[in-house]
Amino acid sequence: MSTLESIINDPERRATAAAQQAKLRAELGHRLAQNPAQAQFLWGQAREQQTLDQLSALTAEDAPEMGEAALRGRTIELYRQLAEGYAAQGRYADAVAASEAGQDGERRAEYEARRDAVESISQARCEHPAEVVEPSPTDAKGFKRKVRTEIERVYDGGRVIAFLRCSECRAVSAEIVT
Ligand SMILES: [Zn+2]
């Protein structure tokens, strides 16, 4: 049984996670909501809980009689939603597993890139320089252009992390903001 399946099929484990999340929301909710990355984190937690509950209901023996294809389609949809919920919390390894179960190769590749970037946080993930000098019509010295541009800020429950994408090779790097 995969880790995901064991989470979905273990009500006690889900209840513990829900209680921890409710506690965090109660303690920090007001403050968290002031920052877009942290508001997204809270949304991700709610998404995770809701989706796990729905997946659990689908896999229960008393699941409503759905056709096999409909059940399969719904399950894939829920796994994709679960992956979004994890990603919104900066839980990229979990998001990789959920998007794999949701057969979403494109998202999975992006979550893998972000997971790897967080593992080597504050280090550029490619060899390109931070800046390049482009020709300028008004300045003989040219102008400096940043090679890595920020694509998103994500809160992981402890840190706000900025993700940067290299304009030369698309590699994703991560930096700690706060
Ligand atoms: Zn690069």
The pLDDT, as a whole number, for residue 14 is 78
Q: Give the integer Cα–Cα distance in Å for 161 and 118.
A: 8
Residue 98 and residue 161 in one domain: no
Q: Is residue 52 part of a domain?
A: yes
CB count in 10 Å sphere of residue 62 = 6
CA of 156 to the centre of ligand 1 (A): 25
Distances (CA, A) of 167 to 113, 147, 151, 171: 15, 6, 11, 8
What's the total number of domains in the chain? 2
Residue 173 CA, ligand 1 centroid: distance in Å: 9
Is residue 136 in a domain? Answer: yes
Same domain, 85 and 135: no
Residue 93 lies in a domain: yes
Tell me what percent of the residues of the chain surpass a pLDDT of 90. 66
Say if CB 161 and CB 177 are below 8 A apart.
yes
In this prediction, residue 57 carries a pLDDT of 85
pLDDT of residue 144: 93
Task: Tell me, yes or no, whether 31 and 78 share the same domain.
Answer: yes
Q: How many Å apart are CA 173 and CA 161, to the nearest integer?
A: 10
Looking at the domain assignment, is residue 122 inside a domain?
A: no
Distance CA 25, CA 21 (A): 6
Report CA(175)–ligand 1 centroid distance (Å). 15
**Ligand 1 centroid to residue 87 C-alpha, Å:** 23
Helices 11-32 & 36-59, crossing angle to 10 degrees? 160
**Does one domain contain both 33 and 91?**
yes
Nearest one of 105, 98, 115, 95 to 161, comparing CA atoms: 115
Please state the pTM of the whole predicted model: 0.82
Same domain, 75 and 9: yes
Domain annotation covers residue 164: yes
**Structural domain harbouring 154:** 131-176
Task: Retrieve residue 136's tokens.
Answer: 């300028």
Question: What residue ranges of the chain have pLDDT lower than 70?
Answer: 1-3, 28-34, 60-64
Question: What is the whole-number distance in angstroms between the Cα of residue 168 and the centre of ligand 1?
Answer: 5
Q: Residue 110: which residues within 8 A CB-CB, separation 6 or more?
A: 172
Query: What pLDDT, in 10s, does the model give residues 94-109?
Result: 999 999 999 999 999 9
Ligand 1: centre distance to CA 125 (Å): 7
User: How many angstroms is it from 148 CA to the middle of ligand 1?
Assistant: 8
Contacts of 168 by beta carbon, 8 Å cutoff, 6+ apart:
126, 128, 147
Clarify whether residues 111 and 139 are in a common domain. no
- State the greatest distance between any 2 C-alpha atoms of the chain, in Å, as a whole number: 74
Compute, in angstroms, the gap from residue 150 CA to the centroid of ligand 1: 13
Shared domain check, 107 and 40: yes
